[in-house]
Structure 1
Amino acid sequence: MARGRSGGIISMWDPNSFMKDTIWCDDSFIIVKGKWKNFTGDCFMINIYGPQDPSAKANLWNKLADFMQYHNGKFILFGDMNVFRRENERFGSIFSHSEANQFKSFSDNSGLIDLPIGALERLWSDHTPILFNVSKVDFGPSHFKLYNSWLYSDGFDEVVKSTWSSLGNSNNGNMIRSHVKLRSLKTAIKQWYITVKISNRTRKQEVMMEI
């Protein structure tokens, strides 16, 4: 996809490995929904070319966050974000702490993982094609993150107390192992956070409409 005679984004795939379903296009990204061969569930391949303008960049992260919130599946984000998480990654220009914090907030809240992918140095790899070679690798169970802000949110204490109390004993009276209780508690907290997140977004939209 391009605007005018130059610039733009292109996404290509091998139809023998990836079966395309739907495509969404924007000035700053192309999203291709489909299924990988021998993998179950939908996958969203998000090819990004981040804008230079800080406000447009913040708007991009909000758009992607909303999209990921209302679609189920696996998400793979790649491309040129035009933003850096750490100052030592930036050369030849001024590092923006505010843009880095916005991007970090987006990636953390979306549960994204920065994969250690081998690549050429930026000097040689900028604006060159990115090739994904997919193989099934088990990295083990995903990590669970608990943010300090949740401790002060309404309803968090009640979820923890009620979930933990309900798991005091199994049906036959034997004590449930701690790791089983923690796993169930993690699931309950995740579900609580999803509900709170949707409620906050709905409230935000209502306030914006009132303004």
Structure 2
Amino acid sequence: MSWNCMGTNARGFSRLIKDIKGLYSISFLILLETQISGEKAEKVICKLGFDGVAKVDARGRSGGIWCLWDSNSWDVHVLEITNQALTLEVKGDDGTTWILSAVYGSPHYSLRGSLWTTIRDLAADMNKPWCIIGDFNVVASEAECMGSSSLLLPRGATEFAALICDCDLIDLGYIGSSGPNLRRRPFRMLAAWLSHPTFESQLQSHWDGHLPWNASISNLQEGLKIWNKDVEYEGVLHEEELLWFQKSRSKWLIYGDRNTRFFHASTVIRRRRQNISILQDEEGNWIHEREELEIMATTFFKKLYTEDGASTP
């Protein structure tokens, strides 16, 4: 399993990986864009439940590649480590030896050239089955530009396409819809989801391990999108209730149920008590009109604060 997780230091991340590992019997995991390094990275890795580790540390909060495996299932030897690629020799239970390169290409065009050099050097001496997997941060053709409104290929696409051709690499392709969808927003997993009490159950209910990988991912994405909208809606309702609770200044009712109507009514009543809607003039007539009420109030206080004004209503 390979995943661009866009950070591994979020609360609940270690538990999520352990749950996925146990649920789907994952024995080899590649994490990209880990965004942490040093002792902090070591602490997170120790919690993930793998006894085989090879990694490229992030630079600041950029990049990072972790290859994690169970030594009972895989015999792994590190061949080469660079800033953007980690190359391993791997042998599984069937005894077949092959080469794995986990890649996270720099998002900066000027730095990506060293990755192309690394791959070309590996290809020149390659005499075993070779798999390159990861995130190159570039596409090779227009067909891969899903969700982009630009009619031009991104910078570096030509060099990437040439690399694939020169090194005799084969794109394994994908299963799913093709062609750009300009109105569709890309799916992004939010780190805040990991701390939500119902996220784990949503993950289990929307993942179907019997389907092909891309179909399972698609189902999971759609399910999480719907769940996220429900969570946000409940959050809005909660904030609305707290707002009216604060405005109502109620001291005795403990919020928690849907008491928004009560809080709103309390606020309206309190504000009405502070308003003057009717006054009686000097002739005993009751005045309701706003303009006349303003004139009465102004006249009264003018008389009250003048030397001759001694009368009271």
The two structures have a TM-score, normalised by structure 2, of: 0.35
**Structure-1-length-normalised TM-score:** 0.50
Q: Which has the larger radius of gyration?
A: 2
